[in-house]
Every structure is written in C-alpha cells, then in structure tokens.
Amino acid sequence: MILVFGGTTEGRMAVKVLEESGASYFYSTRSDTQDIQLVHGHHVTGAMDTPEMAAFCQEHEIRLIIDAAHPFAEALHRNVVELARAVGVPVIRYDRIYPPHASDLMWCRDYAEAISQLKNHGIEKLLALTGVNTIAKLKPFWQTHECWFRILNREMSLHLAQKAGFPDDHLVYYEKDDTATLLERLHPQAIITKESGNSGGFDEKVEAARRAGVKVFVVERPEYPTSGGVTIMHVNGPHGLRRMVEKVLPEFYPLHSGLTTGTCATAAAIAAAIKMTSGEAPNTVPVVLPNGETIDVDVTYGDGYASVFKQAGDDPDVTNGLEIRASVEPSDEFEIRGGEGVGRFTVPGFDYPPGEPAINKAPRQMMRDNIKQNVRITISVPQGAETAHRTFNPRLGIEGGISIIGVSGIVKPFSEEAFVASIRKCMQVAKASGSERVVINSGGKSERFVKAQYTDLPQQAFVEYGNYIGETLAIAHELEIKNVTMGVMLGKAVKLAAGNLDTHSRHTTMDKEFVLTMLHEADIDIDISDLTLARELWDRIPTEKLQAFASVVIKHCAQHCTPLLPNGHLTILLITDTGTIYSDNN
C-alpha cells in the first residue's frame, strides 16, 4: 500500500498517476479543504504526529511514502523522513519544476535575510505574495513599512492575519485580483514571493513585476531533509513518479511504462556530449522531457558513442530492446544526422521534407533543449533497418530504418494517445500524398480487400484506424480531407451502428437486441439467441437478404459517422470475411 502526503497541485497529479493502476492507496491532507475526487484512493484528513503516522503505516501495511506536499512545508517534510526511518519504508519526494535563478531577482536564504535586503534596497512599499503563514515572519518589516499581503479569502486565513496583528485594510485576496492588477492598483516598489516553482505560479508573478518595473525578492525554497537509513528518491513530474513507483513496487501497476525512441536517442546524445566535453561516462543521465520534468535514463558506452537500449515497458513494441546509439562531435552549429538503421522520409507530410532522417520534431527539440551547445549529433540503430520491416514505416514512405519518435518522451502501455497520434501522422501523410481520397480500415485484412476497389490510390492513402473510428474521422475533418472511404467488417460495424465510435472490446460488446432490431428493419426473421460472433450472421442470413441487411447496417453506421465529416463525403464499405464488399449503392 502507498501513502501520499498531498494538498498541492503535485498531490492532485500523484492521485492521477496512482489512479491509473486501479490499486488502492491512501491520500493524506491536513484539512479537508482540497476538493479532490478519488476512485481507488482513500482520503485521510487531520494532522498526525510521527507515532500516530507510524501506527497508521503499520496498520495498513504501507510500503512506500510519496511526499507531494508544498516545498515550504518544512515541518511535514521532516516528519515524513522521521516516519520513513521509523517504519523502514522508502520515500518518493514529488517536487516541483523550478526555473533557474535569474540574475535580475534578489534571492534570499530565509525571511530574515529578505527583511535585511528589503531595507538595504530602500523598499518602503511592498506587496507580499508569500502567503498568510509568512505574515508573522515578515512582521519586523511591515511594522515600520507600508505592506500589503495577498491571502486566500478564507476564515482561517483571516484569523491568522488578525492574530499576527496585520491591518485588515492592507489585505488583498487571490480570488479578486491577479498580480498584474494588484501592481497597477497598489504601485509597490517591490514584491516578495517564494521560490514556489512552475505550479506555484512563480513565473507569472515575476513576469508581471518585470513588466511593471517592480523589484522582485525571492525566498529560496528550503532543502529537503536527508537522513541516514532512509531511501529518498526525487521526481518532479508525473512520468517520473510512475516510473519510480514501478521500480519500487513493481506489482502496483499491472502494466509498466517505457521510453520512446526519442527519449532513448536524447539520453544517448546527452551521455556522448558529456563524455566529449569532460571525459566522464556516467551510468545514468538526466533527461528533460517535453513537459519540463526530468527523468534519469541508464546509458552505456562503446567506441566513440553512447547508447541506450530501448525500454518499451509492457507496450507491445517491436523496437523493444533495440540499441540506440549517439555520437557527438564539435560543430559550428547544432546539427542532427541520421546514421545506420535510422529511416529517411521519402514523401511529404512529415515534420521534415523528403531526404531528411526520420527523426521527428519533438525528439530533435528534446536534444536541443538538453544539449545546450553547438554539436553534430549522429543517431544510429544497428538493427533498425531489419526492424523497420515490422513497422508502419514502409507504408508511410519511410525507408531504410526505424523512426526516432515520441511526443511525451514516455510510452504508456497500450496507450490510446500513442495510437491516435500514429493515426494522425498517417492521415497527414495521406493528405500530403496528394490523393483525392483517403481510405481508412480497421486492419490489414480489410485493407487488402478494399485496395481492389481503389487500385489507382498510392499506398499512403490507406490508413488503419484500429478501433478509433470517431477519432480518425475527426482528424480527417480537422485536416480538411474531402473524400473518405471507410472499410469496416461486421464485428466492428454492429458496434458502430449502435453508436459506439470506439469499438474496442474493453469499451463495448455486441448488442444483440440492436442487431435483432436491424434484422427486423431489413425484414429478416432469424433466431440469434445463440449468436456468439457477429460474422456468423453472414452464414445465417438468406443470400437474397444479405444486401438488405448490409444496407441497414451501413445506414446506421452513417448516422453516427457522417456528422463527424461535415465538410466532406464519407463512403462506407461493409466487408465479409471472404472479401465480399457491400455498399449502400449495391
């Protein structure tokens, strides 16, 4: 069992990550003011001291603690570390993403130093954005200088402000004014804020002050406590949190996540750059993902290169285990090349023109963001050419190897997002091919049959939708594709006809009552009480009634699909297992 200390944005994100597992866990907050919806988690409220928390952990067999509390909750962080030592469990510290220390800001180790700096800079009018709990800490300043505090408009916050003796007429509230509005109304000489990170709105406060020409004083976040005998692992984003939970408690998630080829290539490039510049060869390197969080990736080294072995997790991926290499050389500009086993674009429609290596935009940007120097990076995959034959690359017009891809940098097992993203890319290529029509099919079998109807279309015009019919048609509309043919076999068609635009078996099953309704509509009277698979209908329906039934099924499918392509024309083809094709025009 896992125990999370939350109450923050990171707490909410931890809940989202843990809910993906379907397993139970505990989410603890000091009060019940955070509105959070838990399905598999159990919300525990109220402050507990270390002995009480230890008793709770022993009673509920807690094996992992996640500290997702506010970075300035110093007392809680100390208690968490003491608790971890007492019960002998590891801690994952889910921290925030912090921007680098800008030189135009005044950085202060604590509030005492902040008061000293404020006075040294001659600040007489101050807007404090550090929260109600810091009113007492800044009292030596506001007792002798004009100061406003922004606080939450809650009874507890008002009580704390009054208890500290702060004047009510100098309180302002989050719900009423943002930072820019307050600066315009109050005209302070400076603001003081905490180093609260991206999720704490730090950048927004600083940028508002810069635009207003107001000085910014920042109280630095306290260091997280360390203690011998306690394992503390740091993450700063949802992907890193899930990967760390998978590492510590492998059984918590039934399926494990992996890394994209783009992340593997980036990690290899980072390691190769480190070795080139410093001679060091670390076993792991930090990789900043597109969402800004940092994860650690294992690397190895060879003669003139660094490499990462692709980790697909439990996602069925033919690239799993492939070695992805990177070599780095000094250069006058930042350059990325494709070496052995990396495919090349041969048709338009991708992020880069034909002839360019099949390294997509997101991985290229990851490399640029992580390696902040001018170098020439060459990515190679020794077994890439052989593996590419088992991917979609040949049909997409990518030849000679695999693609280096990945939008998020992380592969979630059986990820719907990843599949839909691949559909989108195929549709973009189909449009770029110049084809007058795009033909979407559920898989290779139906595609083979439909191709006989459209022998003049290029290979790129045929796209597999799997189960995501609604998503695919929405993409076609977004890309302004005017003519779409959809090939569908009966198993998916009866689900679609009933209004299920995602036909995956985990979302929907055949509705025999609706099938019976369609049979009656086609004037067909047969017993289907023992029907197991929809395709059995082809053998049960009298031959002379097959077209009538097919027309009814297509009509109902069209009722749900046609509205998704309002500016185009959709042709639906119903396909039998033996390749007979029915349309509403037969």
Considering the domain architecture, whether residues 385 and 526 belong to the same structural domain is answered as no
Q: Is residue 573 part of a domain?
A: yes
Give kind and range of the element (H or E) at residue 264. helix 261-278
Considering the domain architecture, whether residues 93 and 111 belong to the same structural domain is answered as no
Q: Is residue 253 part of a domain?
A: no
Considering the domain architecture, whether residues 235 and 160 belong to the same structural domain is answered as no
Considering the domain architecture, whether residues 289 and 370 belong to the same structural domain is answered as yes
* Boundary-marking domain end, from 355, 386, 411: 411
Considering the domain architecture, whether residues 265 and 293 belong to the same structural domain is answered as yes
Q: Is the pLDDT of residue 556 over 80?
A: yes
Q: Which pLDDT band, with edges at 50, 70 and 90, does 344 fall under?
A: very high
Q: Is residue 335 part of a domain?
A: yes
Q: Is residue 433 part of a domain?
A: yes
Contacts of 82 (CB under 8 A, 6+ apart): 50, 227
Give kind and range of the element (H or E) at residue 194. strand 190-194
Q: Is residue 309 part of a domain?
A: yes
Three-class DSSP category at 346: coil
CA atoms within 13 A on the CB side of 538: 16
Query: In terms of Cα–Cα distance, which of 438, 481, 483 is closest to 461?
Result: 438
Considering the domain architecture, whether residues 115 and 209 belong to the same structural domain is answered as yes
**Torsion sign (Cα): 92, 97, 103, 107:** negative
* Boundary-marking domain end, from 411, 430, 463: 411
Per-residue exposure over 447-485, b if at least 16 CB sit within 10 Å of its own CB, e if not:
bebbbeebeebeebbbbbbbbbbbbbbbbbbeeebeebb
Considering the domain architecture, whether residues 445 and 552 belong to the same structural domain is answered as yes
pLDDT (0 to 100) of residue 405? 84
C-alpha 528/C-alpha 66 separation (Å) is 53
Q: Are strands 305-309 and 300-302 parallel, antiparallel or unpaired?
A: antiparallel
pLDDT (0 to 100) of residue 433? 81
pLDDT (0 to 100) of residue 176? 59
* Boundary-marking domain end, from 411, 434, 465: 411
pLDDT (0 to 100) of residue 414? 60
| Tokens 């007979």 found at | 580
Cβ(224)–Cβ(234) under 8 Å? yes
Cβ(192)–Cβ(126) under 8 Å? yes
Cα–Cα distances in angstroms (integers) from residue 561 to residues 431, 496, 497, 512, in the given order: 20, 9, 9, 21
What does the pLDDT average to over 189-210? 90
What does the pLDDT average to over 400-421? 78
| Tokens 């505990």 found at | 26
Q: Is residue 240 part of a domain?
A: yes
Q: Is residue 54 part of a domain?
A: yes
What does the pLDDT average to over 159-172? 90
Mean pLDDT of the chain: 88
Q: Are strands 323-330 and 305-309 parallel, antiparallel or unpaired?
A: antiparallel
Three-class DSSP category at 48: coil
**Phi/psi class of residue 89: alpha, beta or left (left: φ > 0; alpha: ψ in -120 to 50)?**
beta
The total number of structural domains in the chain stands at 4
pLDDT tens digit sequence for 19-69:
888 788 999 888 776 667 777 888 888 877 888 889 989 999 999 999 999
C-alpha 127/C-alpha 129 separation (Å) is 6
pLDDT (0 to 100) of residue 106? 96
C-alpha 483/C-alpha 330 separation (Å) is 49
pLDDT tens digit sequence for 369-401:
999 999 999 999 999 989 888 877 787 788 999
pLDDT tens digit sequence for 99-149:
999 999 999 999 999 999 999 999 999 999 998 999 999 999 999 999 999
Cβ(406)–Cβ(261) under 8 Å? yes
Three-class DSSP category at 326: strand
C-alpha 112/C-alpha 118 separation (Å) is 10
pLDDT (0 to 100) of residue 33? 67
User: Which range scores top for mean pLDDT: 333-337, 452-456, 468-472, 501-505?
Assistant: 333-337
Considering the domain architecture, whether residues 78 and 123 belong to the same structural domain is answered as no
Considering the domain architecture, whether residues 304 and 388 belong to the same structural domain is answered as yes
Considering the domain architecture, whether residues 502 and 575 belong to the same structural domain is answered as yes
> What CATH number corresponds to the domain at position 272?
3.30.2110.10
What does the pLDDT average to over 472-491? 92
Radius of gyration of the chain (CA): 30
Higher pLDDT, 34 or 178: 178
E strands, 442-537, in order: 462-464, 483-489
Q: Which pLDDT band, with edges at 50, 70 and 90, does 550 fall under?
A: very high
> What CATH number corresponds to the domain at position 140?
3.40.50.720
What does the pLDDT average to over 211-234? 91
What is the distance in angstroms between the CA of the first residue and the CA of the last residue of the chain?
Answer: 60
Q: Is the pLDDT of residue 505 over 60?
A: no
pTM value surpassing 0.75: no
Distance of CA 13 to the CA centre of its chain: 11
Higher pLDDT, 176 or 425: 425
Considering the domain architecture, whether residues 394 and 428 belong to the same structural domain is answered as no
pLDDT (0 to 100) of residue 418? 67
Distance of CA 1 to the CA centre of its chain: 25
Q: Is residue 416 part of a domain?
A: no
User: Which range scores top for mean pLDDT: 142-156, 342-356, 366-380?
Assistant: 366-380
Determine how many CB atoms are found less than 10 A away from the CB of residue 290.
17
Cα–Cα distances in angstroms (integers) from residue 182 to residues 72, 134, 170, in the given order: 24, 19, 12
Considering the domain architecture, whether residues 289 and 322 belong to the same structural domain is answered as yes
pLDDT (0 to 100) of residue 50? 80
Give kind and range of the element (H or E) at residue 520. helix 512-521
Give the DSSP per-residue string, 347-384. Answer: SSSSSS-TTSBSB-HHHHHHHHHH--S-EEEEEE-TTH
| Domain limits for position 532 | 421-582
pLDDT (0 to 100) of residue 175? 67
Query: In terms of Cα–Cα distance, which of 82, 75, 102, 14 is closest to 222?
Result: 75
Token pair for residue 62?
Answer: 């807690």
Contacts of 27 (CB under 8 A, 6+ apart): 4, 6, 11, 14, 15, 36, 38, 41, 42, 43, 44
